[in-house]
């Protein structure tokens, strides 16, 4: 009898077809967003689930589905899953790291450039029919070349972002839970490790690239924003909740920092409506890894994790390897 799996969000049809060759697949190609109750119902009798960051698997949901063998997340971050509860239940949890590093780093630069040069604001001005003449001081932005790039969270994506700064002759400063090796720092445009306070005070452009956890919740709040230069820009491509959105809105409205570029938000997709009233913020709907090549690589990675887990082999991207020791 084939193992039963649930693919909770729409994906590429050929990925579903490949999975159907090995498993009894229930897929959600209509891409309906399941409520907690609907997701719980769909998970009944399944051996594994493939989910995205939009599906929240709490300790209660996991306890009610302890028959699962694997939870395969199509994302790098996994704060949507109570991993401790899954581990206690003997359920393997996997993610899709590495395959999206370069694409996400590209997108960080997309937001940085749009943010610094006021691309979104000036486009809205043009589209509204307000551009009547050229002016010498129109939409003056911030230079990127020769500026100081600050990176909070210097994992693989952070290092990929830093490497791209070489072509802009930037100085790179960073803060991370642990310092990189001298070789890694040299490869990341000779990035210099600094304290969090020095990072905030020194960066002309600050990019956030750290995972969400209880420890990083609101790691950028009113106090941190107050340390930044009034001319500084902020980019968040990491996770909502790392930034206190209400504090950021206040800082942007009062021009205590120049601008922000955001791809993630607290309570997304229900972002705070006050963001929509601000001209000095670039807003995008969580598309940092959204190139076709990369999203295919993520789907393939999640599929490989699933196949391994249900074949009795340790998945290549197992988050909680202690589960293997429990079996």
Q: List residues with catalytic annotation.
A: 239, 268, 286
Does the pLDDT at position 324 exceed 90? no
- For the chain, what's the residue count? 327
Residue 82: per-residue pLDDT: 96
Residue 137: per-residue pLDDT: 96
Task: Locate 135 and state its tokens.
Answer: 């002016």
pTM of the entire predicted model = 0.93
The parent domain of residue 172 ranges over: 101-283
Together in a domain, 42 and 111? no
Domain count, the chain: 2
Together in a domain, 124 and 163? yes
Q: What is the CATH number of the domain that holds 39?
A: 3.40.50.720
**CA 123, 126, 127, 128 torsion-angle sign:** positive
Together in a domain, 110 and 234? yes
Residue 327: per-residue pLDDT: 66
Together in a domain, 273 and 307? no
Rounded distance, CA 166 to CA 168, Å? 5
Rounded distance, CA 157 to CA 28, Å? 30
Residue-wise pLDDT for 19-44, tens only, equals 999 999 999 999 999 998 899 999 99
Residue-wise pLDDT for 134-171, tens only, equals 999 999 999 999 999 999 999 999 999 999 999 999 99
Together in a domain, 65 and 109? no
CA dihedral defined by 143, 148, 151, 154, rounded to 10 degrees? 130
- Which of 283, 303, 318 terminates a domain? The answer is 283
Together in a domain, 116 and 241? yes
Residue-wise pLDDT for 235-291, tens only, equals 999 999 999 999 999 999 999 999 999 999 999 999 999 999 999 999 999 999 999
Residue-wise pLDDT for 50-109, tens only, equals 999 999 999 999 999 999 999 999 999 899 999 999 999 999 999 999 999 999 999 999
* Cα separations in angstroms, 116 against 39, 65, 120, 121, 191: 41, 47, 10, 11, 21
């Amino acid at each position: 009898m084939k193992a039963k799996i649930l693919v909770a969000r729409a994906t590429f049809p050929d990925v579903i077809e490949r999975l159907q060759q090995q498993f009894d697949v229930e897929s959600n190609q209509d891409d309906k967003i399941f409520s907690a109750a609907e997701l719980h119902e769909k998970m009944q009798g399944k051996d594994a689930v493939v989910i995205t960051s939009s599906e929240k698997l709490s300790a209660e949901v996991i306890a009610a589905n302890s028959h699962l063998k694997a939870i395969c997340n199509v994302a790098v971050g996994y704060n949507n899953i109570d991993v401790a509860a899954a581990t206690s239940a003997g359920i393997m949890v996997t993610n899709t790291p590495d395959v999206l590093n370069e694409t996400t780093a590209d997108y960080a630069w997309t937001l940085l450039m749009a943010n610094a040069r006021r691309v979104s604001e000036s486009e809205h001005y043009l589209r509204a029919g307000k551009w009547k003449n050229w002016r010498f001081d129109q939409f003056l932005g911030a230079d990127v070349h020769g500026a100081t790039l600050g990176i909070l969270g210097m994992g693989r994506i952070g290092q990929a972002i830093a490497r791209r700064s070489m072509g802009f002759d930037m100085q790179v400063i960073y803060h991370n839970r642990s310092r990189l090796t001298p070789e890694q720092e040299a490869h990341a445009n000779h990035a210099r490790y600094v304290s969090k306070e020095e990072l905030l005070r020194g960066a002309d452009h600050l990019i956030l690239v750290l995972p969400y956890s209880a420890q990083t919740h609101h790691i950028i709040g009113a106090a941190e924003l107050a340390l930044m230069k009034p001319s500084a820009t902020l980019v968040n491509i990491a996770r909502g909740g790392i930034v206190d959105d209400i504090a950021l809105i206040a800082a942007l409205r009062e021009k205590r920092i120049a601008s922000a570029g955001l791809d993630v938000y607290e309570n997304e997709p229900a972002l705070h409506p006050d963001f929509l009233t601000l001209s000095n913020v670039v807003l995008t709907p969580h598309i940092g890894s959204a190139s076709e090549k990369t999203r295919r690589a993520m789907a393939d990675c999640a599929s490989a994790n699933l196949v391994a887990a249900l074949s009795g082999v340790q998945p290549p991207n197992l988050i909680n390897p202690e589960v293997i020791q429990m079996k």
